Structure 1
Amino acid sequence: MALVRRVKEMAPAVSVIYQDGRDADYKSLEDYDSHAISLISQLYRIVKTTVVSWCNLQLVMNPDLAPIGNLTSIDCALGWLGYHILALARLNAPTLQTFSISSRFDIGICGLIRDPFGNKYVDYPCLRSLTMNNAGVPAILQRSTFEGVVPFPSLQRLAILSHYPYVDDVLFRGNRATLEILNIALYPETVAMLRKYDVFTPTSHPKLRVCTCSFMEDGPSAFNAASSYLKFALSIAPAASMRVFPGLSEFRETVQPALSILEDYTGIQVLSLPHVHLSLWKAIVLIKALPVLSDLHTWAPILGAIPQGGSEAGLPEHVRSTHSPMGKRFRCWHFECTQLDDLGGVARCMLLLALACPNFDYAAVDKDYRMPFMDEIRQQIAEPWFNLYAPRLQRLLFTDFIE
């Protein structure tokens, strides 16, 4: 155990081991002698925290290796052998704080909270973060409900990025007062479960502030239009300050009319509408309606129809005199582009918005389009109708960009 002693000598305060074996193949332990097994076991004993990030945990679960104690974090992407990672989680249930599992197959995730052999229920009193991603493969649902079971009483972050694997609300029990971040894929069966068990009410989750609700269509849709999707998603933590709506663009022609629903949720500070093109005029309406909105994430904006009786040359003065000052907390519009988007039109939108919003300084664009976008900004400012406001508009030249 000379290596273990050297580790302690070189780093006497070491308290964490991060073990990553993503590029290794442990289907067989024949390549590992008893010294390697013993070494790993000794290393685990000298620390207080162990993080395992492996695709295959046969080595970790080998009977010749002493059970890993003090395990606080598991982050695992699996192609198979999910029972190993679930067994490891159950073994360390008293200390586990974060658990993330991603798989291309159904791995029987129900085994996380129930021993498949002894039928004993397992709770995780210290777990703060739970992420499940079954890569779009429907889980084999646990048909019986976990009545009275509260497995995650301290959960603060919950991400269900695939089909919800249970028929009841077991993941949401006992953590109404602690849950702060939720990322959930709204498959039809998930929506049905949330409705059946009345999981979310206007006052049920007082700390929930970040909410991502992805529209997922798998067979019959749970929603017939963008408005019904938005209403349901907003009913999950109506006081959340950061809202993300992936999949909204799938509703196509019903998206723009439905956006008016957002105007009633005045506590939104960060709003993300992936793949949705907003017109400048719709953005102005939203910014006015959401007084604490600071960040907006969309697809490349479009100018939209010029107000009746106006002209493009007269737009700067029209926007400044009609809408300024507004959105005093609004500071950043993140947008994504493709080669098909009109960067000149996007630049006009940003410059016009800057004339209405006194603190709007950042037009955050994908790095591949940053330089051509900056060129468009400079060219537009040089035009007579924008040049009058050049000192204010030049602040956009120090724009950020999306990595």
Structure 2
Amino acid sequence: MYALTPFQFLPSHIARLVANYVVGYRDSRRFRDMKLLRPLLYVCHNMRAITLPLYFGFFRLTLASSVSNSPMEPKRRESKDLDHPARHLARYLEIELNEVDIYSGRALQMLSCEPYDGCLFPLARQVAFTIGLGECIWAEQSVVAANISAFVQHIKQTAPVANTYQLSTKGPRVVTPTMDNHFDDLATQLFRLVGQIEYYHSCANSLELQLDGVCNLVRIRDITTGHNNSTFTRLARRNALTLESLEINLSSTSGFADTIQDTDGVYVTYPRLTTLFLGGGMAASSVPPPVFKDIVPFPSLRCLTLSQRYPFGDDVFFRGNAATLEHLSLWLGISTVAALREYRLFTPRSHPSLQRVTIRCFGDITPDTFASKADALRFVLSIGTQTPVRVTNIPVTGAELIGVTTSLSNHASIQVLSLSRTSLDLWQVVTLVKSLLLLSDLSTAPPVIGTLPDGIVLGELPAYVVTTFVPMGPRFRHWRIVSHHDNDMGEDNVKCLLFLALVCPNFTYATTLFSPRRGLNMEMLERAIASDMFKPYAQRLQRFRYLDD
């Protein structure tokens, strides 16, 4: 019998937040450790009802323990996966198996026997297939086709309401026309059921798979692929009228151009596309980028992500969507900056719906991107708009950052600044907080111990706070410290955090990532607050938390 606890009287949405925090939903990972949820199952009826769908929300059926083509006996990762009466609560189903087992019919045979016989996941919306590619199978085409169809129908019966199939391939593969046809048939039948495509091909040394059947699918709403395959460019053009989300990796400007213009030179418009992600490793080229005049390919675009160089010679991405574009994520490079400056993207009236801008830097800033790091920072920090801006991964030193920050007069748009390889001393952090008025989140390496502002040393802190206390950084609330093990946080660093908590009224917590002192942060914090230096301010600092991320 469950005891009556305070959790019994919590509103459901509050109890759900507690469970989500325990399971790790606060980061991008799907699940951190499901075993952490087990104690919550026995707190009270209310918490059990909230926790069960999370605890049993993920099931894995493993028909192969490796990605080789050798037959493997079926096994279960967790005994609860197939035996527990709460199995019907699963929202996400993962199936790991080998390619040849599908074609030979062995996969269907394993799913029809114990312990998989009769498995039904009536609430599963997502089914992820991890398929180990193998050698050629010697069987008649008609037999393989029948086995593929039977397997797909069995999956449909196992998860009848699934609306997303994610297909991932692993392992070395000798690509042959026969095996290509088999895999193409499997992918086509799966994706046709749900009207969207998620495909990831992780075989680095194998040839490109020819998916002609997939390319002929119509009425597709979403395409997500991490593979540089021209098939998906053709597929996007074919489904331009229905496509709502496109995430694709391309390695050349011609690949980008192919999404807008077909082989006959006819321009393509995506009237319903709201999310566009264009990634890949496009190298610098002496060929002039393509120019598209007088066309509006993305009139409804809301979210645009470019994770490499700006691929076009004009503003084709930003035409006709000034009233709809809300989120913009860009790779920091000279071509991107030139495009933004020329098209005046950040002027107050250019895109009134723009809500967030993220600017990232991959690798070092080189002469082909900016003349210097200072030029890169000056451009980012001087964006003249009230649109919140997130800046990540710019490789600069603390002195370079402060030098540029203090030389500019308008930094009001920077909300998130992530410099995980940059160490700042406390004076530099205070200068940064005073300059970036909207800064709320800061991510750096562990701070360098130095003097406090105006030459105040740690021992003189109480008098300084009493006589010259001026609140600063009204929105600054979180400092995320990325430890690199060779420069970890110590007692003096914690005192720096507490000083910042005194002068920044909303700075309430700091977190450490990858710290070898994991679990000791709060102990150091409590000792620092109890010291003579901070004891007079213990009540003011009682809200401050220093946690592991």
Partner of 1:86: 233
Match of 1:360 among 507, 511, 514: 507
Q: Which is worse superposed, 341-350 or 258-267?
A: 258-267
In structure 2, give the amino acid aligned to 1:222.
F
Asked if 2 retains the 8 angstrom alpha-carbon contact of 1:139 and 1:164, the reply is: no
Partner of 2:529: 381
Separation of aligned partners in 2, 1:376 and 1:260: 33
Change over 3 Å in CA distance of 1:29–1:212 after alignment to 2: same
Match of 1:343 among 472, 483, 490: 490
| Offset at residue 279 of structure 1 (A) | 3.1
What pairs with 1:42-121 in structure 2 (closer than 5 Å)?
42-54=189-201, 61-63=211-213, 67-78=216-227, 82-102=229-249, 108-115=255-262, 117-121=263-267
| Offset at residue 395 of structure 1 (A) | 4.0
Is 1:277 matched with 2:426? no
Asked if 2 retains the 8 angstrom alpha-carbon contact of 1:159 and 1:183, the reply is: yes
Asked if 1 retains the 8 angstrom alpha-carbon contact of 2:180 and 2:210, the reply is: no
Asked if 2 retains the 8 angstrom alpha-carbon contact of 1:143 and 1:166, the reply is: yes
Separation of aligned partners in 1, 2:285 and 2:243: 23
Q: Which is worse superposed, 373-382 or 359-368?
A: 373-382
Match of 1:126 among 247, 272, 288: 272
Asked if 2 retains the 8 angstrom alpha-carbon contact of 1:61 and 1:88, the reply is: no
In structure 2, give the amino acid aligned to 1:353.
L
In structure 2, give the amino acid aligned to 1:69.
V
Separation of aligned partners in 1, 2:465 and 2:483: 25
Asked if 2 retains the 8 angstrom alpha-carbon contact of 1:141 and 1:165, the reply is: no
Asked if 2 retains the 8 angstrom alpha-carbon contact of 1:132 and 1:160, the reply is: yes
Match of 1:203 among 349, 353, 356: 349
Partner of 2:323: 177
In structure 2, give the amino acid aligned to 1:275.
R
Separation of aligned partners in 1, 2:489 and 2:156: 60
In structure 1, give the amino acid aligned to 2:212.
N
| Offset at residue 150 of structure 1 (A) | 1.5
Match of 1:334 among 480, 503, 524: 480
Q: Which is worse superposed, 189-198 or 205-214?
A: 189-198
Change over 3 Å in CA distance of 1:299–1:208 after alignment to 2: farther
Separation of aligned partners in 1, 2:453 and 2:157: 73
| Offset at residue 149 of structure 1 (A) | 1.8
Change over 3 Å in CA distance of 1:308–1:266 after alignment to 2: closer
Change over 3 Å in CA distance of 1:260–1:149 after alignment to 2: same
Partner of 1:27: 175
Asked if 2 retains the 8 angstrom alpha-carbon contact of 1:180 and 1:209, the reply is: yes
Post-superposition Cα deviations, 1:31-64, rounded to whole Å, max 9, x if no partner, equal 3776x7656544444434443344589667325x
Asked if 1 retains the 8 angstrom alpha-carbon contact of 2:384 and 2:413, the reply is: no
| Offset at residue 76 of structure 1 (A) | 2.2
In structure 2, give the amino acid aligned to 1:130.
L
| Offset at residue 389 of structure 1 (A) | 2.9
| Offset at residue 118 of structure 1 (A) | 0.9
Q: Which is worse superposed, 68-77 or 99-108?
A: 99-108
Q: Which is worse superposed, 138-147 or 332-341?
A: 138-147
Post-superposition Cα deviations, 1:143-186, rounded to whole Å, max 9, x if no partner, equal 44211122112222222222222222222222222222222223
Change over 3 Å in CA distance of 1:321–1:103 after alignment to 2: farther
Instruction: Give the SS at the match of 2:212.
Output: coil
Asked if 2 retains the 8 angstrom alpha-carbon contact of 1:76 and 1:101, the reply is: yes
Separation of aligned partners in 1, 2:368 and 2:155: 57
Change over 3 Å in CA distance of 1:285–1:388 after alignment to 2: same
Change over 3 Å in CA distance of 1:153–1:400 after alignment to 2: farther
Separation of aligned partners in 1, 2:209 and 2:369: 43
What pairs with 1:2-13 in structure 2 (closer than 5 Å)?
2-13=150-161
Rg comparison, structure with higher value: 2
Partner of 2:163: 15
Post-superposition Cα deviations, 1:349-369, rounded to whole Å, max 9, x if no partner, equal 111112223332211111424
Asked if 1 retains the 8 angstrom alpha-carbon contact of 2:522 and 2:547, the reply is: no
| Offset at residue 77 of structure 1 (A) | 2.5
| Offset at residue 240 of structure 1 (A) | 1.9
Higher relative contact order (CA 8 A, sep 6+): 1
Post-superposition Cα deviations, 1:88-108, rounded to whole Å, max 9, x if no partner, equal 221222222222233567773
Separation of aligned partners in 2, 1:12 and 1:183: 36
Separation of aligned partners in 1, 2:383 and 2:437: 21
Change over 3 Å in CA distance of 1:238–1:343 after alignment to 2: farther
Change over 3 Å in CA distance of 1:182–1:349 after alignment to 2: same
Match of 2:379 among 216, 232, 235: 232
**Count of equivalent residues:** 394
In structure 2, give the amino acid aligned to 1:191.
V
Instruction: Give the SS at the match of 2:515.
Output: helix
Change over 3 Å in CA distance of 1:283–1:221 after alignment to 2: same
Instruction: Give the SS at the match of 1:384.
Output: coil
In structure 2, give the amino acid aligned to 1:381.
I
Asked if 2 retains the 8 angstrom alpha-carbon contact of 1:21 and 1:54, the reply is: yes
In structure 1, give the amino acid aligned to 2:225.
C
Partner of 1:300: 446
Change over 3 Å in CA distance of 1:344–1:184 after alignment to 2: same
Separation of aligned partners in 1, 2:333 and 2:439: 29
Give identity over the alignment, percent: 33
Partner of 2:284: 138
Instruction: Give the SS at the match of 2:501.
Output: helix
Instruction: Give the SS at the match of 1:138.
Output: coil
Structure 1 spans left out of the alignment, 5+ residues: none
Structure 2 spans left out of the alignment, 5+ residues: 1-148
